[in-house]
Structure 1
Amino acid sequence: MQFLVISRRLTDRFSDANFAPVVPLEGARARELYAAGFTRQIWHRGDQPGACQIVEADTLDAVHETLATLPLAAAGMIAFDVIPLKPYAGFTP
């Protein structure tokens, strides 16, 4: 099953200096999740710090468990909106 994950850095609680040492670790973990097939596509947000990604997992709980392994999530520096996706019906006759 695929999910849309929209993340946002908690910039109201953490400064750029707080994020700086964690961001390289976040990138490394994101590459691991991509290589493992969890992350299918990922983009930086254009409106604020954070990312949007399409991920694949069996359950919503599995998505949350995997996202919790990201260093920014483990540090409480990022929040997620997770939206389950289903096939678009407009392409079927």
Structure 2
Amino acid sequence: MQFLVLSRRRTDQFSDVDFEQLVPGEGAQARYLYSLGFTRQIWHRGDVPGACQIVEAKDASEVHEKLATLPLARAGMLDFDIVPLKPYAGFSNR
């Protein structure tokens, strides 16, 4: 099952320096999650500091579990919106 994940940095509670210290590890873990096939696509957000990604997991619990391995998430520096996705019915022959 695929999910849309929107993350936002908690810039109201953490400074740029706080984030900068964890960014190298965040990138390394993001690459690892991609290598597992969990992360399918990922972008930086253009509206607020954070990311948008399409992930693949058996259920929302697995999404939460995998996202929790990110250094910024472990430090409580990110908020997540997780949206389960369904196939678009407009492409069906029915």
Q: In the TM superposition, what whole-angstrom CA distance separates every residue of 1:21-78 from its partner, at most 9, and x where no partner exists?
A: 1011100000000011000000000011100000000010000010000000000000
1:7 counterpart = 2:7:
yes
Task: Give 1:9's aligned amino acid.
Answer: R
CA RMSD of superposed structures (Å): 0.5
DSSP 3-state at the match of 2:53: strand
* Aligned sequence identity (%): 71
- For 1:4 and 1:20, the matched residues in 2 are separated by 25
Aligned to 1:30: 30
- For 1:64 and 1:79, the matched residues in 2 are separated by 11
- Structure 2-normalised TM-score? 0.97
Runs of at least 5 residues in structure 2 that lack an aligned partner in the other structure: none
Aligned to 1:77: 77
DSSP 3-state at the match of 1:21: helix
- For 1:48 and 1:60, the matched residues in 2 are separated by 24
- For 2:53 and 2:25, the matched residues in 1 are separated by 18
Runs of at least 5 residues in structure 1 that lack an aligned partner in the other structure: none
Aligned to 2:63: 63
Aligned to 2:17: 17
- Structure 1-normalised TM-score? 0.98
Query: Displaced runs of 4+ in structure 1, greater than 2 A?
Result: none
